[in-house]
C-alpha cells in the first residue's frame, strides 16, 4: 500500500514539470484563511461577480434528511475567483417554491480547503416530501432548488420514478437531454459515472474544454466547474436529488485502483498516480452532493453505500473502479487471456463484495438495485465462431461475476436489477446463470443507459452491432443514440423507457421514447412493451 504522507518529497522531485499540487500544499488555504476575519469577503464586497454561477444541487435522499450543495465561484474556470478566507453562507429550506414557509435554516462556512463548496445535511424532515432550498451570502441569493426525501424506512411505497444518466463529455455534445429530464416527472436521478472527462482541447468538437489534460487540483476544480456552468445540467440538479457514483474519467481513462493506464511518465508510477487520484477524488467530493462520510482521505474515498426507499426499492450504489485489480489482457476489446480466469481478480474488492452480499441477503425491499458503472451481462462482439469482450467490464472479471451469479441463484434476493452506463449506448439484457448457455436460468435484469453527450449523435444501430447481436440472445435491446433512461417502479412492475435525442451536436435536439421494457415482480428478465 502506498504511504500517502511519505511521498511528498518524491513527488516534488519527479513531477515538478507538471506542477502537480501535492496533498498538504493543496490545503494551505486554511492557514491563510485563519489570518483574516471570517466575514471580510462579504464586508468589503470582494466578490468579483455573481458567486452562485455553479447553481445548486441536492442528493443522498434519506427518509428524514437530505444533502443540499453549492459552491461560491464568481470566476468558475479561473480557480473560482474567491479570496482565501472562510465565508459564512446562510441556507434555508421551505415547503413551498416561493420560499415563504421556511421550516429549517442555518449558516455554514465555505472554506478554501473545499474550494468554497458547502454541503448541508438537513435533518428533521418529513418522509416522502418535496422541499425547496436556497443559499444566501451577503446580498446575493442562489437559485432555488427542489428536492425530495425518501419514503419512511420500511413503509409501504407504491411508486418511485427516476432517471439514469451517464457520460457527459462536454466537448462532444450539448446537454439538451438534461433540459428534458428537468421537465420530467421524477423523484430523483441516478448518475452512473463519467461526470467529467480529463482530456484536453479538441477544436473540431462543438464545444471546447478549458485547457489541456488535467493533473493539478486547480485543473480538476476548473474542469468540474466548466461542466457545472451548463444551464441544462444545473436545471436537472436543481429539479431533483441525485444519487451519484463515478467511473474512470473523473480521474483518468480506464484506471484500475492505483494503477494508471497511461504508459508515459509520470502517471505510470503508482506513488504519483496515488497523488493524482487523491487530487481527483478531492475535487469530485467538492462538487457532488454527497454526505460527509464520503470525504476522501488521501487517495481513498468511501463511495459505495446503500439508500432505501420504503419497502419498494434499495439502491446498492457500487464502486467498480477504486478497488478492482488491473484489467487482464490489456485494455480494449479482445479474446480472453488466461488472466481473465484468475480467481483472485476482482472488480469490487473483497470488502465491498461482502458488504453487497450481506445487504442483499438481509434486504426486505421488493426491488434490489445494483447501481453501478459498467455492464454486468456478457457482450460478445465477434459474430460467429470465437469471442471478443471488453476488458474493462465485468466480462473480464469472471470470478467476480460468477460469484455474483451464484449468489443470486442460491440466495434469491427479491428482483435484482443492475443499472449501468459507460458504454455510450442503450442496452436491455438478462442476467444469466451461464451466458454461453441461453437455456440456463435468468437470475436478474440489467438496464444500461447511453451517454448524455459522449460520442456525439450516434446512430440507432450499426451493421457491426447487428452482426453480433444474434450471438447474444440474452441481449433484448440495443440503441446507439444519446439520451437517458426513465424508470417507473411499482410493487408489481419495473418499467424502463429508453429516451433518445435526435442530435446533440447542436443545442436544438428533440427527444423521443425509442423503446420500453418491463420486469414483472418475481419473474427475472426483461420484456418489451409497446
> Do residues 418 and 431 lie in contact, with contact meaning Cβ atoms separated by under 8 Å?
yes
Q: What stretches in the chain show pLDDT beneath 70?
A: 1-46, 263-267
Where are the CATH 2.60.40.380 domain residues in the chain?
36-148
Give the number of residues written for the chain.
530
Beta bridge partners of 308: 314
- Dig out the grid coordinates for 385 from the structure: 465462431
| The pLDDT value given to residue 262 | 73
What does the pLDDT read at residue 22?
30
Q: What is the pLDDT of residue 179?
A: 98
Please choose, from the candidates 225, 214, 196, the residue with its C-alpha nearest in 3D space to the C-alpha of residue 78: 225
* Pairwise CA distance, residues 449 & 373, whole Å: 10
Report pLDDT for 263: 65
Task: Kindly report, residue by residue over 387-401, the tens digit of the pLDDT.
Answer: 999 999 999 999 999
Q: Which three cell numbers stand for residue 73?
A: 465561484
Fold type of domain 160-529: Purple Acid Phosphatase; chain A, domain 2 (3.60.21)
Specify the DSSP element, H or E, that contains 501: strand 493-501
The DSSP H or E segment spanning 178 is helix 176-183
Beta bridge partners of 106: 91
Is 92 in contact with 152 (CB distance < 8 Å)? no
CA distance 160 to 490: 7
User: In the prediction, which pLDDT does 14 show?
Assistant: 33
How far, in Å, CA of 480 to CA of 325, rounded? 29
In Å, the largest CA–CA distance within the chain is: 73
Q: Give the pLDDT of residue 102.
A: 98
How far apart are alpha carbons 276 and 296 in whole angstroms? 13
Q: Where in the chain is the domain with CATH 3.60.21.70?
A: 160-529
Residue 269's pLDDT is what?
Answer: 85
pLDDT computed for residue 266 by the predictor: 62
Nearest alpha carbon to residue 450 among 489, 422, 412, 486:
422
pLDDT of residue 18: 36
β-strand 188-191 against 160-165: which pairing, if any? parallel
pLDDT, one tens digit per residue, over 176-207 is: 999 999 999 999 999 999 999 999 999 999 99
Whole-model pTM above 0.75? Answer: yes
CA-based nearest residue to 177, from 487, 483, 514: 483
Helical packing angle, 270-287 and 217-228, nearest 10°: 40
Q: Which fold has domain 36-148?
A: Immunoglobulin-like (2.60.40)
Q: Encode pLDDT of 283-312 as tens digits.
A: 999 999 999 999 999 999 999 999 999 999
Give the N- to C-terminal CA distance of the chain in Å, as an integer: 53
Q: What residues contact 484, with CB distance under 8 A and at least 6 apart?
A: 163, 164, 165, 177, 181, 449, 450, 452, 499
* pLDDT value of residue 265: 55
Give CA–CA dist 227/503, Å, rounded.
Answer: 19
3-state secondary structure of 230: coil
pLDDT at 264: 61
Q: CA 116 to CA 67: how far, in whole Å?
A: 16
Amino acid at each position: 500500500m502506498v504511504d500517502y504522507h511519505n511521498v511528498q518529497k518524491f513527488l516534488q522531485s519527479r513531477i515538478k514539470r507538471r506542477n502537480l499540487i501535492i496533498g498538504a500544499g493543496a490545503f494551505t488555504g486554511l492557514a491563510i484563511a485563519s489570518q483574516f476575519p471570517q466575514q471580510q469577503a462579504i464586508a468589503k464586497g470582494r466578490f468579483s461577480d455573481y458567486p452562485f454561477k455553479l447553481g445548486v444541487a441536492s442528493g443522498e435522499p434519506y427518509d428524514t434528511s437530505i444533502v443540499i450543495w453549492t459552491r461560491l465561484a464568481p470566476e468558475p474556470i479561473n480557480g473560482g475567483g474567491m479570496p482565501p478566507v472562510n465565508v459564512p453562507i446562510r441556507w434555508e429550506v421551505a415547503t413551498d417554491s416561493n420560499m415563504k414557509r421556511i421550516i429549517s435554516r442555518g449558516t455554514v462556512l465555505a472554506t478554501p480547503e473545499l474550494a468554497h463548496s458547502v454541503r448541508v445535511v438537513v435533518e428533521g424532515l418529513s418522509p416522502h416530501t418535496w422541499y425547496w432550498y436556497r443559499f444566501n451570502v451577503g446580498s446575493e441569493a442562489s437559485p432555488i432548488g427542489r428536492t425530495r426525501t425518501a419514503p419512511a424506512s420500511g413503509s409501504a411505497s407504491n411508486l418511485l420514478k427516476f432517471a439514469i444518466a451517464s457520460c457527459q463529455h462536454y466537448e462532444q455534445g450539448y446537454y439538451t437531454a438534461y433540459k428534458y429530464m428537468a421537465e420530467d416527472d421524477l423523484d430523483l436521478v441516478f448518475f452512473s459515472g463519467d461526470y467529467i472527462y480529463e482530456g484536453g482541447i479538441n477544436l473540431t468538437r462543438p464545444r471546447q474544454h478549458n485547457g489541456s489534460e488535467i493533473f493539478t487540483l486547480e485543473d480538476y476544480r476548473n474542469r468540474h466547474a466548466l461542466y457545472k456552468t451548463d444551464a441544462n445540467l444545473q436545471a436537472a440538479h436543481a429539479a431533483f436529488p441525485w444519487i451519484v457514483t463515478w467511473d474512470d474519467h473523473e480521474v483518468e481513462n480506464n484506471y484500475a485502483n492505483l494503477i494508471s493506464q497511461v504508459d508515459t511518465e509520470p502517471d505510470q508510477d503508482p506513488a504519483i498516480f496515488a497523488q493524482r487520484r487523491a487530487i481527483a477524488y478531492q475535487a469530485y467530493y467538492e462538487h457532488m452532493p454527497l454526505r460527509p462520510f464520503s470525504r476522501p482521505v488521501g487517495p481513498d474515498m468511501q463511495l459505495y453505500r446503500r439508500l432505501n426507499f420504503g419497502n419498494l426499492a434499495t439502491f446498492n450504489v457500487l464502486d467498480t473502479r477504486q478497488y478492482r485489480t488491473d484489467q487482464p489482457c490489456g485494455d480494449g476489446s479482445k479474446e480472453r487471456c488466461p488472466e481473465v480466469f484468475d480467481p483472485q481478480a476482482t472488480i469490487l474488492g473483497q470488502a465491498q463484495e461482502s458488504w453487497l452480499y450481506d445487504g442483499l441477503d438481509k434486504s426486505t425491499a421488493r426491488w434490489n438495485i445494483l447501481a453501478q458503472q459498467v455492464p454486468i451481462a456478457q457482450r460478445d462482439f465477434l459474430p460467429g465462431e470465437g469471442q471478443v469482450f471488453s476488458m474493462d467490464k465485468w466480462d473480464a472479471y469472471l470470478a467476480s461475476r460468477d460469484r455474483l451469479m451464484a449468489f443470486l441463484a442460491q440466495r434469491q434476493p427479491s428482483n435484482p436489477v443492475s443499472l449501468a452506463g459507460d458504454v455510450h449506448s442503450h442496452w436491455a439484457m438478462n442476467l444469466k446463470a451461464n451466458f454461453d448457455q441461453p437455456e440456463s436460468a435468468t437470475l436478474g435484469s440489467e438496464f444500461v443507459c447511453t451517454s448524455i453527450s459522449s460520442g456525439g449523435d450516434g446512430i440507432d444501430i450499426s451493421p457491426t452491432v447487428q452482426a453480433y447481436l444474434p450471438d447474444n440472445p440474452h441481449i433484448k435491446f440495443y440503441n446507439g443514440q444519446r439520451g437517458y433512461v426513465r424508470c417507473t417502479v411499482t410493487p408489481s412492475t419495473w418499467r424502463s423507457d429508453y429516451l433518445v435525442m435526435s442530435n446533440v451536436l447542436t443545442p436544438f435536439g428533440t427527444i423521443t421514447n425509442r423503446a420500453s421494457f418491463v420486469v414483472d415482480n418475481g419473474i427475472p428478465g426483461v420484456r418489451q412493451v409497446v
